[in-house]
Structure 1
Amino acid sequence: MRPDEYWKNFNLGTELDIAGRFLFNGLLAFHEMEHFAAEEDAFEFLYSVAVGVERLLKIAIILTEHDTAVDQESFEKSLITHTHQDLALRLREPHSLKFPARENEFIALLGQFYTSQRYSRYSLNSVFAPTHERDKLVKFLEKHLDIKIDTSGWLTITRNERKHRKFIGKVVSKIVNPVHQIIEDEARRLNIYTYEIDYQSKASKIFLSKKFDFEDEDILQAELLAYFLSSEACGPNAQLIRDLIKPLPFDPAREGEYLAALRCDRKKIAVLDELEALYEDVTNFKERRELLEASALENLTYGEEVEDEDIEDFDFDNSEDGDGR
């Protein structure tokens, strides 16, 4: 295999997975936003999506434009840009790639953010426009959803709802899917496999499942909770938890917060503080933690062939890397 073939087949395949992970992380950040007031939330979303789209466009450009006759140094220099609109234009003629006006506007928003705004707070001038990326995102949502978003009121602040998440997912999908199709078509033309993605990777959600929101994940959590709370959960993990792990006295009034903590990492912070306080009354802390770690193993051995009361006989399947496999 020639160096250029290896580059396009393997290195760009890795880049495709990386691009998908950035897109996944950005969409998840938007999914977990409670409201639109925090500029940090807008930054996290825009940064990840901007990087993901940029890398995706560059993969498509390389597969489309590069051949052994090009000046390699000049070609690589032409990729050193963060202007998303210019990158997209390089795919317009060879692939008739034309985005709708709304998606073009969002691409421009990503480009402006990445080239002009992501480091702006390191400048003293930022005091005159401290929330520019948030405000740009809010204006985009207000314009295309025909709504008014409140970012200043204490009681009237606009919450991030399903309609906002579905809209953003649709916009990103209409940018990502056509570019990914170009990558797949060009890879097939070159008889390489750049488009192949591990189905367990974050990128598989974007490029294989083509899902751009996290509603299914939220439903999955609810379904799994329903299962584990029922008598149908009779495998080794559920049995160990029921038999040997006494629940801590969490507050029933906060059950909604606890469920949210299962879905969202940032929600775990407050609950972790409560957990630390509850642990102060646990006398067999080390044993409890060992049992909890064992309960999460994918290949746990526990059940009829093991004496329930004799934890010394458990096969926790603990390997050196701690994954239990």
Structure 2
Amino acid sequence: MRPDEYWKNFNLGTELDIAGRFLFNGLQAFHEMRNFAVEEDAFEFLYGVAVGIERLLKIAVILTEHDAANDQAEFEDGLKTHNHQLLIQRLQKRHQFDLAGMTNEFIGILSTFYKSHRYGRYSLGSVHAPARERDELITFLEKHLKVEINISGMFDSTRNERRYKMFIGRTISKIVLPIFHIIRNEAGRLNLYTYEIQYGSKASKIFLRESFDFEDEDILQGELIAYFVSGEESGPNSRFIRDLIKPLPFDPALEADYLSALRSDRYKQEVLDELEGHYEDVEDFKDRRNMLEAAASDHLSYDAGEDED
């Protein structure tokens, strides 16, 4: 295999997985936003998606444009850009890749964010416009969903509901999937396997399952909870938990918060203080932690009459 073939097949294959991870993380950040008031939330979402789409575009450009006759140094210099629109224009010269007005507008938000807003707060001038990426995201949502988003107070702020999550997922899918289609076609033309994705990875959710929201994951969580708390016939792990691990006295009034913590690493932070308080009253803390670790073992063997695994 020639060096350029190795580069396009393996190194760009790794880049494809990395792009998928950025997209996954950005979409997950949006999914976990409670409302639209916090500018850090908007930054985290836009950063992940902007980087993911940029890297994806560059893979497609390399597979489309590069051949052995290229001046390699000049070609690589041409990739040193964060301009999403420019990269799209390069693809459009050789591929049918038309973006509707809404998706073009979102690409513009990503480009502006990555070029200007990403480091905007390092400038003194940011005191006059401290949350531009958040405000542009809100304007985009208000325009295309015909809503009014309130960010004025902690309790009055518009909640990030299902319709916002589904809309953002659809918008990003209309950008990402056509680029991935180009990558598949170009890799096929070159007899390469750049497009192959590891099953079960973050990238597989994006490129193989073509899933751009986390609704299925929320449903899965609910179903698994129902399974583990049921009294139905079950495996050794759930029996071990029910029989041997006494539940801590969490507050029944906060069950909705606890369910959110199961769905989100971010929400876990809000419950950890309470957990530490409960642990102050646990005398056999070390044994309890060992039992919790055993409960998650892949090789746990437990029957109701056993005292230990």
User: Normalized against structure 1, the TM-score is what?
Assistant: 0.93
Deviates more, 1:148-157 or 1:192-201: 148-157
Match of 2:278 in 1: 278
Match of 2:144 in 1: 144
Letter in 1 for 2:213: D
Q: Distance in 1 between matches of 2:284 and 2:234?
A: 26
Match of 2:91 in 1: 91
Give the 5 Å matches for 1:176-191.
176-191=176-191
Q: Distance in 1 between matches of 2:29 and 2:278?
A: 30
Give the 5 Å matches for 1:32-43.
32-43=32-43
Shift of 1:156: 2.5
Match of 2:306 in 1: 308
Match of 1:100 in 2: 100
Which SS does the other structure have where 1:23 is aligned? helix
Q: Distance in 2 between matches of 1:233 and 1:81?
A: 57
Shift of 1:302: 2.1
Give the 5 Å matches for 1:123-138.
123-138=123-138
Which SS does the other structure have where 2:93 is aligned? helix
Give the 5 Å matches for 1:45-64.
45-64=45-64
Q: Distance in 1 between matches of 2:299 and 2:182?
A: 41
Q: Distance in 2 between matches of 1:280 and 1:238?
A: 26
| Equivalent residues of 1:172, 1:212 under 8 A apart | yes
Identity across aligned pairs (percent)?
65
Give the 5 Å matches for 1:70-81.
70-81=70-81
Q: Distance in 2 between matches of 1:119 and 1:251?
A: 42
Q: Distance in 2 between matches of 1:265 and 1:182?
A: 34
Structure 1 residue ranges without an equivalent (≥5):
315-325
Match of 1:208 in 2: 208
Shift of 1:233: 5.0
| Equivalent residues of 1:84, 1:111 under 8 A apart | yes
Q: What is the total number of aligned residue pairs between the two structures?
A: 309
Q: Distance in 1 between matches of 2:150 and 2:297?
A: 45
Q: Distance in 1 between matches of 2:19 and 2:161?
A: 26
CA deviation profile, 1:125-171 (whole Å, cap 9, x unmatched): 11111010000100010111111111113442111000000000000
Q: Distance in 1 between matches of 2:299 and 2:51?
A: 37
Shift of 1:56: 0.3
Deviates more, 1:188-197 or 1:238-247: 238-247
CA deviation profile, 1:215-238 (whole Å, cap 9, x unmatched): 000000001111111122521101
Match of 1:243 in 2: 243
Shift of 1:47: 0.2
Match of 1:299 in 2: 299
